[in-house]
Amino acid sequence: MKVKTWGVICHQEIPHSTDNRCPECGDKTLGVSNLSNTAKPHIVGFEDGSMKAIFRCPGCDCLFWFHFMKDFVEDFFENFEER
């Protein structure tokens, strides 16, 4: 499967999350243990070169990004439809 860049592109103003919790409000909905189906509706962009997924927090609507490992990305996006 070819993963490609799409949607919102990460820039300096979008904060990084080290544990996939919202850095603004601390929402844990997208926490590392919930990354499978729970996170999919909240991904608003992806960068294939840096393996960054850009999320919109379901709690406060803030954007933030999180790194994925290549193997996980291929699995994760296999059935994911780009919006």
Alpha-carbon span 82 to 60, nearest angstrom:
23
- What pLDDT does 65 receive? 92
pLDDT: which is higher, 73 or 30: 30
Strand, helix or coil for residue 53: strand
Q: Is residue 48 part of a domain?
A: yes
Q: How confident is the model at residue 79 (pLDDT cuts 50, 70, 90)?
A: low
> What range defines the domain where residue 27 resides?
6-77
- What pLDDT does 83 receive? 46
Structure tokens at 18: 């080290």
Q: Is residue 82 part of a domain?
A: no
Q: What percent of the chain has pLDDT over 90?
A: 22
| 3-state helix vs strand vs coil in the chain, percent to 5 | 15, 20, 60
pLDDT tops 90 at residue 24: yes
Q: Is residue 43 part of a domain?
A: yes
**Considering its fold, how many domains does the chain have in total?**
1
pLDDT tops 80 at residue 81: no
Q: Is residue 83 part of a domain?
A: no
Q: Is residue 52 part of a domain?
A: yes
- What pLDDT does 5 receive? 83
Q: Is residue 11 part of a domain?
A: yes
- What pLDDT does 70 receive? 66
Q: Is residue 1 part of a domain?
A: no
Q: Which residues of 24-56 are buried (b: 16+ CB within 10 A; e: fewer)?
A: eeebeebeeeebeeebeebbebbbeeeebbbbb
Amino acid (one-letter) located at 30: L
